[in-house]
């Protein structure tokens, strides 16, 4: 049966399953089913779908691939059963070779081996049926049970399937015909045909050749039997005969049991490898994924722990944005964040460096921070941060967690070095890895398979190696370790086990509803103490947290956060526009204890001195209504570097800039404020610096990878296009009379209904010259402002711009 005809014979439901599982086949939608079959056989499409297969399903494909043509299902079942019973077969083979047991013992071993084979056959049937159903759905296998075959192109994409080398005719294709003739004359004397054909024929049954080599040569073959089938040998293309062979390798080369593929490389022909494996294709094959090992966790405790981590992560992102709005770090010339700025942020957030890098990267990927602020550039919060900050904590976490799950950046690489030995900085473009989202999803999928279990790292890696055997390597293992560590920090897992809200996030549920009841209730008060500290007995509300961060410095974190008030922190709040009385009233309103006298005096004293000195632009000047205070400044030795000059009893000029003058006076213990050219006080809005930046758009897909309506429309378009392709219908005449006209909304509604019903419609359409034409269409799908349909008046599938359709009428 031809593959295209098999595709054409699939039901609409089966085609929908195919395009849903392999959405790349309809991007864009082919014109007909023949085009779909051709695209399904392309190397890129095959490699992509093979990467999604688990170890057992891939082994079924490899078993079919080692055959040159179709294989009966019964034979496939036998090979799979032999692989599932591989341990018993290996044990039996070892016992047979030892020859140390008696006849009765050998009979018992044979009977045990038969029972193992029967057991393997029973285990193979359900697993094989499930695997074949999956492969039929993916169009990797087709045909009836008595002639199962791989789809076109699959054998070419699979390199060394099951660790077996190329067939003999391919392995010796680079050898000279004369050399092959001489080799065939020695190993197959008296046979007819070309040297390559004679050699391939004798290698199809290599028992005699293998039995004629030395034990050392047989050992070399055994090392290559289960793969990889290639090896390195000096002077592999040497001319050697059976009589002149002096080493084990020369024995194998002379008999064609090894084929030279290069000057220093050899390979084991597939026929020889299959014989050495005793007719099996795989060994140690598992029909089910390996069980996960780890520590059992109480699910409620894990959920509460994960909720606490989620709350802490949201607050860390919020604190990062608040701090960077006051003191934004610069953007490096090569892009990214400097090492010193990262260390400073790590200290401010009181997190390990890798966790601080995670907070920064997630905030950037979520569109909460971006580069801006001038020519050199600074990392600043975006306007989107203000919208994110006012939302509920659970909703804010969902935004961050989805961003982490779907972003292609790898924060765990921060601090490593690239191939040029350059450091990888946070926020640098070199941190992108396209495989990162898939690894995170696969890792969480493993955790989801074991509710209430915190699996070990090795157990997760072993499970992923079974689920996606073609996607392996050091980077993938590293990304898996990063995913496990970051999932705990973000709050998706708790104590190593997947949380309830993490599961809802992974399965497309409502994680905010699951998380909200578990979050700690924010408090709106602090406990003021006589030593100028304030204790927050729990997580503060967002507004109170921002106000406390502005007015006091964080001294310690933990179950309760300790803030310390100082002259500089009070002055920071005054610089932001708050008055002294306002600060005392705010403290009284949000304190569960009376405001200590020492704190009240501190606020009053700093507020009294704040702003008595005014600094403007001369380059800069100092203005004060108290001449004695200006006398004190000019007499201070520390003011010599400011190069001050008394212009009047209440005015001093300076050659320093206004900003430098303000900073210097503050360092000397004064409390100046800056003023504008009009004499107005310049208030420093320390939390108002923003830059433009939008959160990246995310494509939300259904769990099967493609929206069901899109799959249905694509299949309808394929059927319509295929019918036109087969029928080669002639164009029909357009209806006479006035072309349909109507409102745009009614037109779109009529087309949507026609797509659902699968009926033809008559439309009016403006061509490129603006002329109105009549068309008879079979609509298939509508997206992106275009309608895809079969045009009966043109006998072809076309895309129609919706804004050019003047109206729709029924037929």
**Range name among 4-18, 139-153, 395-409, 729-743 with the lowest pLDDT average:** 729-743
Could you tell me which residue, 262 or 124, shows the higher pLDDT? 262
Average pLDDT score over residue span 167-186: 85
Tokens of 272: 């020889």
pLDDT at 638 over 90: no
> What's the angle, vertex CA 693, arms to CA 688 and CA 697, rounded to 5?
140
Q: Is 401 helix (H, G, I), strand (E, B) or coil?
A: helix
| Angle at which helices 12-21 and 708-727 cross, to 10° | 120
pLDDT band at 730 (very low <50, low <70, confident <90, very high): low
Mean predicted confidence (pLDDT) in 778-784: 85
Provide the whole-model pTM.
0.70
pLDDT at 732: 65
Residue 205: burial class (beta carbons within 10 Å; 0-12, 13-18, 19+): exposed
Local structure of 275: helix, strand or coil = helix
HSE at residue 173, side-chain half, CA atoms within 13 A, is: 5
Q: What is residue 481's predicted lDDT score, i.e. its pLDDT?
A: 94
Confidence of residue 62 (pLDDT cuts 50, 70, 90): very high
Between residues 483 and 575, the one the model is more confident about: 483
Tell me what the mean pLDDT of segment 474-483 comes to. 90
- The conformation of residue 539, written as its DSSP 8-state character, comes to P
Q: Span 784-809, mean pLDDT?
A: 85
Cβ atoms of residues 665 and 615 within 8 Å: yes
How crowded is residue 68: how many other Cβ atoms within 10 Å of its Cβ?
8
Q: What angle do CA 30, 36, 38 make, to 5 degrees?
A: 115
Question: Measuring CA to CA, which residue among 484, 545, 513, 478 is closest to residue 395?
Answer: 513
- What does the pLDDT read at residue 530? 85
- Does the pLDDT of residue 355 top 90, yes or no? yes
Place of tokens 């009181």: 350
pLDDT given at position 503? 92
Q: Does the pLDDT at position 359 exceed 90? A: yes
Show the beta-strand stretches assigned E in 540-606.
553-556, 561-564
- pLDDT tens-digit readout, 373-401: 655 688 888 888 888 988 888 999 999 99
From CA 324, how far away is CA 719, in angstroms rounded? 57
pLDDT in tens, 754-772: 888 888 888 999 887 888 8
Distance of CA 375 to the CA centre of its chain: 33
| 302 pLDDT tier (thresholds 50, 70, 90) | very high
DSSP state of 699: -
Mean per-residue pLDDT over the chain, rounded: 83
Region of 160 (left: φ > 0; alpha: ψ -120 to 50; beta: rest) is left
pLDDT of residue 53: 92
pLDDT at 233 over 50: yes
What's residue 260's pLDDT?
87
Q: Taken in order 602, 605, 608, 612, is the CA torsion positive or negative?
A: negative
Task: State the Cα–Cα distance between residues 58 and 138, nearest whole angstrom.
Answer: 12
Residue 402 pLDDT exceeds 60: yes
Q: Is the pLDDT of residue 271 over 50?
A: yes
Q: What is the pLDDT of residue 655?
A: 77
DSSP letters spanning 730-770: PPPPPPPSSPP---HHHHHHHHHHHHHHT--EEEEEE-TTS
Residue whose C-alpha is closest to residue 365's, from 316, 410, 307? 410
Residue 271: partners with Cβ closer than 8 Å, 6 or more residues away = 167, 168, 200, 203, 204, 206
Residue among 789, 729, 782, 783 at smallest CA distance from 762? 789
Q: Is the peptide bond before 28 cis (omega within 30 degrees of 0)?
A: yes
User: With bands split at pLDDT 50, 70 and 90, how would you rate the model's confidence at 597?
Assistant: confident
- Strand segments, DSSP code E, in 63-203 are 141-142, 149-150
Give just the sign of the alpha carbon dihedral 384, 387, 389, 391. negative
Is residue 363 scored above 90 in pLDDT?
Answer: yes
Q: What is the mean pLDDT of residues 434-450?
A: 91
pLDDT at 612 over 80: no
Mean pLDDT computed over 283-311? 90
620 band by pLDDT with thresholds 50, 70 and 90: confident
Residue 692's pLDDT band (cuts 50, 70, 90)? low
765-771 long-range contacts, Cβ below 8 Å, gap at least 24? 765/739, 765/800, 765/804, 765/805, 765/806, 766/804, 766/806
Which three-class secondary structure state does DSSP give residue 166? coil
Q: What is the pLDDT of residue 559?
A: 64
In percent, the amount of the chain with pLDDT more than 90 equals: 22
Mean pLDDT to the nearest integer, 357-373 = 90
């Amino acid at each position: 049966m031809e593959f295209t005809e098999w595709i054409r014979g699939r039901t609409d439901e089966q085609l929908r399953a195919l395009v849903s599982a392999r959405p790349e086949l309809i991007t864009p939608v082919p014109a007909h089913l023949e085009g779909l079959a051709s695209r399904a056989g392309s190397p890129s499409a095959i490699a992509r779908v093979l990467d999604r297969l688990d170890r057992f399903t891939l082994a079924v494909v490899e078993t079919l691939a080692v055959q040159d043509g179709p294989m009966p299902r019964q034979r496939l079942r036998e090979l799979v059963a032999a692989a599932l019973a591989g341990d018993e077969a290996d044990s039996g083979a070892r016992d047979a070779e030892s020859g140390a047991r008696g006849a009765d013992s050998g009979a018992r071993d044979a009977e045990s081996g038969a029972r193992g084979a029967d057991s393997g056959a029973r285990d193979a049937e359900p697993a094989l049926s499930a695997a074949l159903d999956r492969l039929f759905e993916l169009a990797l296998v087709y045909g009836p049970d008595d002639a199962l075959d791989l789809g076109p192109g699959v054998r070419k994409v699979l390199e060394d399937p099951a660790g077996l080398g190329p067939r003999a005719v391919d392995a010796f294709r680079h050898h000279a015909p004369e050399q092959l003739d001489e080799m065939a004359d020695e190993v197959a004397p008296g046979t007819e045909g070309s040297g390559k054909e004679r050699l391939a024929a004798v290698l199809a049954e290599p028992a005699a050749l293998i039995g004629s080599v030395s034990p050392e040569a047989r050992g070399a073959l055994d090392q290559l039997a289960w793969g990889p089938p290639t090896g390195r040998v000096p002077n592999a293309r040497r001319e050697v005969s059976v009589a002149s062979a002096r080493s084990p390798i020369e024995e194998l080369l002379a008999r064609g049991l090894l084929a030279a593929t290069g000057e220093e490389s050899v390979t084991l022909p597939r026929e020889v490898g299959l014989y050495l494996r005793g007719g099996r294709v795989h060994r140690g094959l598992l029909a089910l994924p390996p069980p996960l090992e780890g520590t059992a966790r109480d699910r409620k405790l894990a959920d509460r722990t994960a909720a606490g981590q989620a709350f802490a992560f949201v607050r860390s992102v919020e604190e990062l944005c608040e701090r960077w709005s006051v003191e934004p770090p610069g953007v490096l010339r090569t892009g990214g964040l400097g090492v010193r700025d990262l260390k400073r942020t790590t200290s401010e957030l009181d997190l390990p460096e890798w966790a601080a890098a995670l907070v920064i990267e997630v905030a950037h990927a979520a569109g909460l921070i971006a580069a801006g602020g001038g020519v050199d550039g600074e990392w600043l919060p975006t306007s989107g941060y203000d919208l994110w900050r006012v939302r509920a904590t659970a909703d804010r976490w969902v935004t961050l967690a989805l961003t982490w799950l779907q972003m292609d950046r790898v924060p765990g690489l921060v601090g490593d070095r690239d191939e040029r030995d350059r450091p990888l900085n946070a926020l640098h473009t070199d941190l992108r890895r396209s495989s990162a989202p898939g690894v995170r999803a696969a890792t969480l999928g493993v955790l989801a398979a074991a509710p209430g279990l915190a699996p070990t790292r090795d157990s997760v890696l072993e499970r992923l190696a079974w689920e996606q055997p073609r996607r392996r390597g050091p980077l993938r293992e590293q990304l898996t370790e990063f995913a496990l560590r970051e999932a705990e920090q973000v709050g998706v897992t708790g104590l190593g086990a997947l949380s309830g809200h993490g599961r809802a996030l992974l399965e497309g549920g409502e994680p905010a509803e699951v998380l909200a009841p578990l979050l700690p209730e924010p408090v709106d008060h602090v406990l003021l103490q006589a030593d100028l500290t304030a204790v927050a007995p729990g997580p503060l509300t967002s507004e109170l947290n921002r106000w406390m961060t502005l007015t006091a410095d964080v001294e310690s974190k933990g179950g309760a956060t300790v803030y310390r008030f100082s002259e500089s922190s009070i002055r920071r709040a005054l610089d932001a526009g708050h008055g002294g009385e306002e600060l005392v009233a705010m403290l009284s309103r949000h304190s569960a204890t009376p405001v200590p006298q020492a704190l009240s005096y501190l606020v009053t004293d700093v507020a009294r001195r704040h702003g008595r000195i005014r600094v403007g632009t001369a380059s800069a000047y100092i203005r004060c209504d108290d001449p004695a205070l200006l006398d004190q400044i000019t007499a201070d030795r520390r003011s010599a570097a400011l190069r001050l000059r008394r212009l009047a009893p209440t005015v001093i000029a300076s050659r320093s800039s206004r900003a430098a003058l303000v900073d210097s006076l503050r360092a000397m213990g004064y409390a100046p404020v800056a003023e504008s050219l009009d004499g107005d006080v310049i208030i420093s809005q320390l939390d108002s610096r923003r830059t433009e930046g939008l959160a990246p758009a995310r494509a939300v897909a259904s769990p099967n990878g493609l929206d069901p309506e899109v799959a249905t429309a694509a299949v309808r378009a394929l059927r319509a296009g295929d019918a036109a392709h087969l029928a080669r219908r002639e164009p029909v005449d357009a209806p006479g009379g006035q072309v349909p006209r109507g409102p745009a909304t009614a037109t779109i509604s009529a087309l949507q209904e026609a797509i659902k019903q699968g009926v033809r419609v008559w439309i009016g359409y403006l061509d490129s010259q603006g002329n109105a034409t009549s068309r008879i269409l079979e609509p298939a799908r509508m997206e992106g402002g275009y309608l895809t349909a079969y045009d009966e008046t043109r006998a072809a599938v076309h895309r129609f711009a919706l804004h050019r359709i003047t109206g729709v009428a029924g037929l």
